[in-house]
Amino acid sequence: MSGAALPERITEELIAELVDTFYGRVRRDPLIGPIFLAKLGDDWGPHLSKLGDFWSSVTLMSGRYRGKPHQVHMPLPLEMQHFERWLALFEATVTELCTGPARFLFIDRAHRIADSLQISLNIGPKALALPERSTSG
């Protein structure tokens, strides 16, 4: 999109560009790249397609994504720093590729997704600090 005005509306083409650009950066990132590479290896095609479906469903309500992200992330060795890095890379990519309502919606949804995953994994400041169960009865 060099030379052209940054889009303010989300389209399938913008989602595809965002997914490709962002996950290219993720693969090269020294902190979170190894987590993705351990899970996916070199075969990113199906994962990128699934992520395109996910972001289409999240932003355009297309209904294409049918996965269970919480279950997929549960076995991964994720900590708060991984979410912070993921969000920083995502926000930088979104800021480069779009503006206005599109930028706001992508970034808002990314934060909501990160918060939800942190809660399900019980890590970070957004996690639910549940009291331990009493074993006496």
CB neighbour list of residue 57: distance below 8 Å, 6 or more residues apart: 63, 64, 65
CB-hemisphere CA count at 13 Å for 118? 21
Q: What is the pLDDT of residue 33?
A: 95
For the stretch 48-59, pLDDT in tens is 999 999 999 999
Report whether 43 contacts 50 (CB < 8 A): no
CB neighbour list of residue 124: distance below 8 Å, 6 or more residues apart: 80, 83, 118
What's the pLDDT band for 4 if we cut at 50, 70, 90? low
Residue corresponding to tokens 């989602």: 15
Report whether 87 contacts 111 (CB < 8 A): yes
For range 94-108, the mean pLDDT: 95
For the stretch 32-85, pLDDT in tens is 999 999 988 888 899 999 999 999 999 999 999 988 888 888 888 888 999 999
Cα 51 from Cα 24, distance rounded (Å): 13
pTM score, whole prediction? 0.85
The reply to whether CATH 1.10.490.10 applies to domain 12-121 is yes
Among residues 14, 13, 43, the alpha carbon closest in space to that of 27 is found at 43
Among residues 48, 60, 126, the alpha carbon closest in space to that of 87 is found at 126
CB neighbour list of residue 115: distance below 8 Å, 6 or more residues apart: 126
Q: What is the pLDDT of residue 121?
A: 86
Boundaries of every domain in the chain: 12-121
Report whether 56 contacts 15 (CB < 8 A): yes
